[in-house]
Structure 1
Amino acid sequence: MQKDERQRFILEKLRGDSKVATQRLADQLMVSEDTIRRDLNEMSQKGLLTKVHGGAVSSIQKLYYYNDNVIRDQREKDVIAKKAVSLLSDGMSVVISDGTTNLAFARNIPKDLKATVFTYCLPIAMELTEHPGIEIVFLGGRIEKKSMVALGLDVINKFSEIYVDLCFLGTGSIGHIEGITEGSYDVSLIKRKIVAASDKVVSLATSNKLGLRQSYSICKPSDISILVTELDPNRSELLPFSDAGIRLL
């Protein structure tokens, strides 16, 4: 098969599947994986698709694609996600903040859940488009291209106008004295508004975030209802959070 025929085949697969894998394409087209990689590189340069780890996605998909290969601590985040899903029930209104832990959480939300989800994170909003019972409210503003989140005064003002049952905060750092802190000033302004808009605050944090402190305060321990980590709730390093009145999952 000639190069132009291969590339037409790849584009046709992308129209149906939105994502293709290098190895599978090589098997289907009976060529080497190196040949497929060269095709994908050329097509990416032309803007016909977007190369990702192990294959390619459609040009539209690049707007919200997260490469799983660069999500650190994936196993731990999947454990956290599965625990956090137990807090959801039909009819809830929730905020899901940005971050790869929250993306893992969004991917684990049951397809039959009926809820309203507010977010300013584009990948999470797009992930939830596959859930027919979820109403997605994207609170948009200026998009930060690297993280694909909306920032700025527009987002802050929109969060000032809502009230939800739960918020799921991706957590930069959390201490039993300092509470949740964040390294980004812009994100900290948004997360403070989210806390104020939420009946209960759920912190999703891998254990390497425990006991750390960053520059900008989000909320105090007394504002945190539930802390979800990959650890067993009885672990000694979690005792100070339990003593602070925070429920552990």
Structure 2
Amino acid sequence: LISMPSQSNLTSEIIPTRLEEGGRPVALELVARRPSGPGPFPTLVFNHGSTGSGTNPAVFRRTMACAPLADFFAERGWQVIFPQRRGRGKSGGLYDEGFKLDRSGYSCDPQLSLPGVDRAMEDLDAVMEHICARPDVQQEHLVIGGASRGGILAIAYAGERPSIFKAAINFNGGWLGRACPTHPEVNRKTFLRGSAFPRETLWLHGSHDQYYRIAHCRENFDAFRAAGGRGAFHALRGGHALIYRPQLWAATMADYLDAIA
């Protein structure tokens, strides 16, 4: 995901949470796109990815959202909320999702990388506590989604909090890219955390993704299904920025939303 466009229908707010660091509370930024009308609305909670290599702290502070995705859902009456996890965008706290010990970039070591997934889930717990109390949200029509690290996070979180969501959507999901020799282990282990989700999931992967080969993505999906997960896998003719090309996935997404309505 790239930075939030300055000219868009997206709005930003800062919410208090129960999270603490150093004995001080941590607030998180949420970016929202609301459809027209009074609400409450069916709502998609959509999670951002990493910052590439994790080597440039300036990138951590870019608020991440996707206007084409938000517009697609808003045109169909959905609200979309993009949470910014700790240390990202205008959110407080330290961005600490699986760095090397010297914080020079993301780590390939599963013992350092996988705890980053747990930290991201803690952030999502704080976000969902807020969202589940919002009067503009139809609580019976909550969907979780995400791209890249946000995509794998969406699947894993749905499996660990299976009663909250009607569906889960994964665009080009993975925690580590193929530059890490450990990426098959880390990604599969994380996706398997989602296999307990009892509803249908949607996996949309670009066949030309530079971080995740399509064969690797299919293997993750097959392992997810073998462990009891439910869903459909679609290989589309795009790259890692697939989310910004709704012409490639709009029909599939529309059918999915109709099926879960």
Give me the TM-score of the superposition, normalised by structure 2.
0.34
Give me the TM-score of the superposition, normalised by structure 1.
0.35
Higher relative contact order (CA 8 A, sep 6+): 2
Higher Cα Rg: structure 1 or 2? 1
